[in-house]
Amino acid sequence: MVDKVSRIKEEVWKHFKDFENIYLTTCEGAQPRVRPVTLVHLDERFWVLTGTDNAKVRQIRKNPKVEFCLPIQKKDRRGYVRAAGLAKITQDRALKSKVAKYCDFFRKYWNGLNDPNYTLLEILIHEIEYVRPEGITTQKFKL
């Protein structure tokens, strides 16, 4: 028998397609900084491709704690998936290559895997907060 938390987790994961526009928050000192990014969902893992010199990379190097929010909508009702965790700068060339090949937008921003401005972040989620579009109850669980 599947427990309630397992059913909710399964429901939450269905909201993540290959690519989602999310709002990612990092910290600059004590100040949260939020910005829209593309979240890549590949092999049950989450990735963000970004520029090496971007503020989010500098902020993550100092404090890897992040949160993101995925707004969801069903007809005229809105909900969200909010996730908290850590961002890890990935140096693994095979992973960087796999994610780059998966992303049709990669060549638009970078000149190949050796481009020093290509940084791959893995988002390691520890906690989820979920509000269904048709509901008002907040569901929270740890991963």
Mean pLDDT of the chain: 95
pLDDT, block means (10 residues), the chain with 143 residues:
79 93 97 98 96 97 98 94 98 97 96 97 97 90 90
**What contacts 54, CB < 8 A, 6 or more positions away?**
119
Quote the pLDDT of residue 48: 98
Quote the pLDDT of residue 136: 85
Quote the pLDDT of residue 143: 87
The model's pLDDT over 32-64, given as tens digits with 9 standing for 90+, comes to: 999 999 999 999 999 999 999 999 999 999 999
Could you report how far apart the first and last alpha carbons of the chain are, in Å? 19
The structural domains of the chain, ordered by start, are 4-142 (2.30.110.10)
